[in-house]
Structure 1
Amino acid sequence: MKKQNRLQQLQQKRSSLSLTRTVSFGCTKSLILISCLGIVLLTRNQYVTPFLAAAVQGSHSTQQKHTLSLSSITESSSTLLSTSSLSSSQSSTSSENKDDETEPPVENSEGSSSSRKNGPLKVLFLSADTGGGHRASAESLASQFVIHYPGTKYDLCDFWTLDGCWPYRTLAPAYKHLSKYPRQWRFLYHLSNMRWYEIMQDIHSSVTCERKIRKRIASYDADVVVSVHPTMNYTPIRSLQNIARDTGKRTPFFTVVTDLGSGHSTWFQPEPEKVFIASDRIRKIAKKRGNVPDESLVESGLPIRHDFAVQNENMGGDRTSDTGKSYQRSMKAQLNLNSDTKTILVMGGGEGVGSLKQIVDSLYCTLTKSGIDASVVVVCGRNEKLKTRLENRDWNKILTRPKKKRRRLLKFLNPFKKKNNEDTESSTSHGNVKVVPLGFVTQMAEYMVAADILVSKAGPGTIAEAAAVGLPVMMTSFLPGQEAGNVDFVVENKFGEFCVKPDIIADGVSNWLKDDVALTQMSKNAIAISHPNAAEEIVLEIGEIAHQWMERNGK
């Protein structure tokens, strides 16, 4: 009996061991399959977000051109390992260089040193054509470089369009398509903002595009590189590290975040000399997602055009002061607007997108019935069709349509109340509202000074410009994920609200115009958080560090 029991126990142990081996072998096999699947995803689909974006547009045929053999996958994995080991060794070298950076060499001649610090620079801006805000920020910085460092030359480069393989080079058209479909944009934005996805993107972009980008950067021979786009950080930084390894010349890299309240994780890397941010909300994201050290973060505000700094100074820094009110009246007269009435500025972006027509109709009806005299200035951008429709519109018909429906309903419910209702409506004094359609505007700073309220989508640049001149903002729409933080930024700082429905937007604007105290307080709140000179401050700090590195590089 004892022998039989021992035999049974031995058989159970053997069976359990074999089961354990089977399970462990199965797990190992699964891990290998998952790893291979990850490599295939990296090499075949090539960065899922632009792939899905291109797929939405029907770019299925291009996907078949990028199928790789097993040997090419093996080569990619070996290249990946060498790239990761190289980046780790370079990160230690870059940290040593940063320690040396704190003590730049001292020139023997003070005159030559000061002339170098104000000398011209070769600046390379990195951006992509995904919305006008990135380009506008680069242009505002470039103008300040020219002012403070005369003779400066600059270039704006889109690596993905010039040197990116498919689907990176489809980033710009994919953005234009997806920005019209918020649900698709929300899905892709949050998917690409996941940590595992960020790692896959960084690895794949380095393996497929880094060499071409390195050659492109080297051809510019820039003194400083400034990124104003979230996708232009990881791979360009690796390219600059490789250039420094090959040539011994280190080019300083800076990131200027062009978001107010929410930033994509691809904005943030620990290597840049400085990362310029617009708010404390962005600081928290940078430290959490990018491990950016505190000494590299500079809360400078969003860089905007120099025109707004000039207008802020002309108003005396406060549009609610006597100087500010007087200057606003003179600006209205200069723009051929009635200086005795309120002005509402309605915008929909450079392309004149959004439900501008419905918003303008609701504003006209509500303000007229509320007895408010106002000018509604509509910036249609390049949307000439909308501009023509607003110019030829019969506003009396817009005003009487709701009345007819209401009268029919009253007549049906109670014919005896019809006469009393008509008497009440006839006794109400209507306001004089004038709609002024405009095309593409270059005097945006002047129009924002003349306006009393801005009605616009929640773009970061538009909000920062409005805050610089103390203009309250009624936000009407935003891109999910990317611009959601901008809405929170405005609401938390109490210089605006967010509404979607045109009728509610019009009611909110009407209530603001009737309450001068609330409107004045919102204007003061906007000025308090504004940074009209952000572009100048950013450029001066970049220029100082760039000249230090030029001296180290022997320039």
Structure 2
Amino acid sequence: MPPKILILTVSHGASHERAAAALGKALLEARPDLMVEAWNGLERSARWFRLYYDSYQIPLRYWPRLWGWIEGVQHRSRSSGPGWLYRRGAEPLFGDIETFGADVVIATEVGMCELAAMLKREMAARFRLVAVVTGVDADRAWAQPEVDLYVTAPGDPAAELEAAGVPRAKVLPCGQPVDPAFASLPDKPTVRARLGIRPDLRMVLVLFGGAGWGKPRRIVDALNQVKRPLQAVFVTGCNRRLQEEVQSLCRDDGRCRVLGWVDNMHEWMAAADLLVSKPGASALIEALDCGLPLLAIDPLPGNERRACEWIEKQRVGYWIKDPQSLGPSIARLLENPAGLDRLRERAQALARPRAAYDAAEAILELLGSNR
């Protein structure tokens, strides 16, 4: 029977699912005989538990400051929620995991990590547990004694795990797993020709996250303030209504192209000179892996604002705190090649485009020790 690897994720934002997909692809490239499955853990849990887990969207939408406080408390807490509630809500998921009989379970979201650790601790499950920490910091609740291996970005997340009591030997600071395609990027002239992007103009890539959040009129107005000729590509994710809104705003502007969901983000980033985006974990890490400078806009309270602080500390881009400064900031960077190059060099120094392969190698070593 082939070895079984189960990846637990959730659909909150794009980073958890993208990390899961990247790891699954890298594992199967290394060992085609593996049985690898990725599950949305909430879809296999009790319905009331899914509603509870998704309830963060209410304060996030209506009382963002309240959500910022709640998220800050969760960031520092030993658990992201009550253990008794997690135990009851995840009973169906626990049954499915036991039936699947995984040799290794990989969690790409902190709550899924807590649930898998609970299953090992309370029901004597024998699988190896791998925690994949996304983003540029680590919630305290990732630190579970039952975890055998942590995959994380170097620097702050690794240090935070160690400060929370995780033994250094368990931490692999290889970077956040991204699609293996980021490890072999095409050169800019080649990819621009393939995508139909003019080679003689600067290109601004605008992202709204996988779910498609943002205020497109503000961004279009900012681009209209830039006197230098440019071209812009908008990627609106899964939000069809947002895509139609941006298309309407750009209807008479030949500089702009509007896309929905794309599966070749590595190519669009490789073609771009500057990224304007919410600072979600996937957008930030993938931009680093492409050496793409970032202007971070509209961060959500909590981890995205901490990501903005990290962006400025590491000098890989800027946090646009005043919406009125977006247009002048774009213009200033596009007119300053040396400044763009400095940001690009800093991003390249932090890039870990082979993280999925490095993580897969470590997971396969763990798998070998468990059989």
Higher relative contact order (CA 8 A, sep 6+): 2
The match for 1:489 is: 310
Identity over aligned pairs, percent? 24
Please report how far the alpha carbon of residue 138 of structure 1 lies from its aligned counterpart in structure 2 after TM superposition: 0.4
Kindly indicate whether the alpha-carbon contact (under 8 Å) linking 2:79 and 2:114 is maintained by their aligned counterparts in 1.
no
Deviation at 1:200, TM superposition (A): 6.9
State the match for 2:320 in structure 1.
499
**Equivalent pairs, count:** 370
Give 3-state SS (helix, strand or coil) of 1:447's partner. helix
Structure 2 vs 1, CA of residues 200 and 470 (structure 1 numbering), >3 Å: closer, same or farther?
closer
Structure 1 CA distance, aligned partners of 2:241 and 2:83?
A: 43
Q: CA deviation at 1:178?
A: 4.4
Q: Is the 8 A contact 1:472 1:526 kept in 2?
A: yes
1:453-487 superposed Cα distances (whole Å, 9 cap, x missing partner): 00000011111111111100000022222223322
Match status 1:307 vs 2:181: yes
**Contact (CA 8 Å) 2:43, 2:50: kept in 1 or not?**
yes
Matched, 1:529 2:359: no
| Structure 1 unaligned blocks of 5 or more | 1-118, 315-326, 397-431, 551-555
Alpha carbons 1:263, 1:482 under 8 Å: kept: no
Q: Offset at 1:237?
A: 1.7
How far residue 360 of structure 1 moved from its aligned partner, in angstroms, is 1.5
1:353 aligned partner: 213
Contact 1:455 1:473 in 2 (8 A): yes
Once residues 140 and 325 of structure 2 are traced to their aligned partners in structure 1, the CA distance between those partners, rounded to angstroms, is 34
Residue 349 of structure 1: CA displacement?
A: 1.2
Alignment deviations for residues 45-76 of structure 1 (CA, whole Å, 9 cap, x no partner): xxxxxxxxxxxxxxxxxxxxxxxxxxxxxxxx
Instruction: Please name the residue that 2:30 is paired with.
Output: 148
State how 1:146-295 maps to structure 2 within 5 Å: 146-164=28-46, 166=48, 168-171=49-52, 173-181=54-62, 182-193=64-75, 195=77, 198=79, 201-206=82-87, 208-209=88-89, 212-244=92-124, 250-260=126-136, 262-289=137-164, 291-295=165-169
Judging changes above 3 Å, is the alpha-carbon distance between structure 1 residues 175 and 129 closer, same or farther for their aligned structure 2 residues?
A: farther
> What is the rounded CA distance, in whole Å, between the counterparts of 1:170 and 1:385 in structure 2?
24
Contact 2:273 2:292 in 1 (8 A): yes
- Cα 1:214–1:378 change in 2 (3 A) is closer
Match of 1:335 among 184, 195, 201: 195
What is the match of residue 5 of structure 2?
A: 123
DSSP 3-state at the match of 2:12: coil
Aligned to 1:298: 172
Instruction: Report matched runs for 1:461-472 at 5 Å.
Output: 461-472=282-293
What is the deviation of 1:538?
A: 0.3
C-alpha spacing 1:145/1:508, structure 2 compared with 1 (3 Å): same
Alignment of 1:43-82 (within 5 A): none
> Is the 8 Å Cα contact of residues 373 and 433 (structure 1) preserved in structure 2?
no
Rg comparison, structure with higher value: 1
Structure with a larger share of its residues in strand: 2
2:331 to 493, 498, 510: 510
Q: In structure 1, the residue corresponding to 2:226 is in which secondary structure?
A: helix
Closer, same or farther: CA 394–482 of 1 in aligned 2, 3 Å: closer
Counterpart-to-counterpart distance in 1, 2:114 and 2:247: 48
What residue is the counterpart of 2:235 in the other structure? 379
Change (3 A) 1:492 1:221: same
Q: Is the contact between residue 104 and residue 129 of structure 2 (CA under 8 Å) also seen in structure 1? A: yes
Q: TM-score, normalised by structure 2?
A: 0.91
* Structure 2: gaps (5+ residues): none
TM-score w.r.t. the length of structure 1 is 0.62
Are 1:445 and 2:242 matched, yes or no? no
Greater helix fraction, Structure 1 or Structure 2: 1
1:411-422 matches, within 5 Å, as none
Task: Provide the rounded CA distance (Å) in 2 between the counterparts of 1:279 and 1:273.
Answer: 18
